[in-house]
Structure 1
């Protein structure tokens, strides 16, 4: 059973998320919070597997709350729920430790799939968010670092470039495995190698790198 904590200042949004999550037999909502003030305590007490986190909230916002969660329980996976007005919050949320990003108007099946991916250790993010996240990442870096030509991505094999391109396109490990006719374990090994070689600490940073460097699926 996947344990979920909902954090959103809108009661109706939390109610809708609860109803959706509890419609799935493998998901359980173990708690709710209307802002980030009590999140650190709730995460410690309830030990959720996945936290669905609104980024814009009064009082303690989602970015601060995410940072506190990472301090209290680094194993928690925070999936940030964003809107198209949240651009200024995306990169700071990533820097704070957000594990995935999903737009609030995503189809229900996409949200449920994202929760399961996060619980399984795969970082979910909507393609709609990726371009905006890349822009935020570029603006957050120095002008010298803002663009990395594709040929300067260090020492990648042809297969690793293929995997990097598909990570950048938003594909999961299972989807990449299907496309390349590989085992999921083999794909995970390639992703781990990519993180080590590029210095990217997580899958979303890899996706940002793929888009920045123009590494795209063939």
Structure 2
């Protein structure tokens, strides 16, 4: 099952029967043609998702993203000519509004971490079900982050290691550009809570949570909630050891 890493999970996103003004435009990127075709067939059955193009490597993905301006890019990590992580950075430049989900067999911590730093909003392993893929697309299109559970554990482990490597005691302290409430929200994001849980814990509405997260990303000039957590740990804003 795919977990939401940040203020929302796939369960919080619109159900397949919900109506969107426009379908979610998806670009599929993978160097295996049979995998691309299979994914396109699956997504073709979803009325709110439209595959607008495909690419076989990172270089082609960047070109297609610039031309098609998709909402979501589903992209493998390891591909010939240009890998997915390198392409991720380039896609964010030519299609800033596109949200990128890495869909890969790689469970390497280094790939996960580099993908997040490159601006990926999701990191899913190909072992997940097709239903989970479509749910993740909807969730990410709604501004949430998605990550396979086994990878989420590795990510939090890496965050804690970052804290330990500093050799200093960390505390949740006000950062110059974030309010006290935004810091509270960011810490809850780092623990994996979704919108509903954050709203419940802080006694505020889910819409207020979304507004806080949007403000956090804008202030820190970051692409995703996962990036925000990495930033917060690196800048000694969060104490993940203290819970």
Q: Taking structure 1 as the reference length, what is the TM-score of the superposition? A: 0.79
**Counterparts in 2 of 1:1-218, with a 5 A limit?**
1-136=23-158, 143-144=165-166, 149=170, 151-154=171-174, 161=184, 163-164=185-186, 166-174=188-196, 176-177=198-199, 182-192=204-214, 199=220, 201=222, 202-208=224-230, 213-214=240-241, 216=243
Give the number of the structure with larger relative contact order, counting CA–CA contacts within 8 Å between residues 6 or more apart: 2
Shift of 1:204: 0.8
Cα deviation, 1:173-204, whole Å, max 9, x if unaligned, reads 2554467664221111333465578x583311
What secondary structure does 1:85 align onto?
Answer: coil
Closer/same/farther in 2, CA of residues 153 and 53 from structure 1, 3 Å limit: farther
Separation in 1, partners of 2:149, 2:139? 15
Closer/same/farther in 2, CA of residues 159 and 32 from structure 1, 3 Å limit: closer
Shift of 1:91: 1.4
Closer/same/farther in 2, CA of residues 152 and 36 from structure 1, 3 Å limit: same
Separation in 1, partners of 2:242, 2:39? 35
Separation in 2, partners of 1:136, 1:58? 28
Separation in 2, partners of 1:103, 1:58? 19
Aligned length: 212
Contact 1:167 / 1:206 at 8 angstroms: preserved in 2? Answer: no
Deviates most, 167-176 or 18-27: 167-176
What secondary structure does 2:110 align onto?
Answer: helix
Shift of 1:108: 2.5
Cα deviation, 1:91-117, whole Å, max 9, x if unaligned, reads 111121112222221232322121112
Contact 2:75 / 2:103 at 8 angstroms: preserved in 1? Answer: yes
Q: Taking structure 2 as the reference length, what is the TM-score of the superposition? A: 0.72
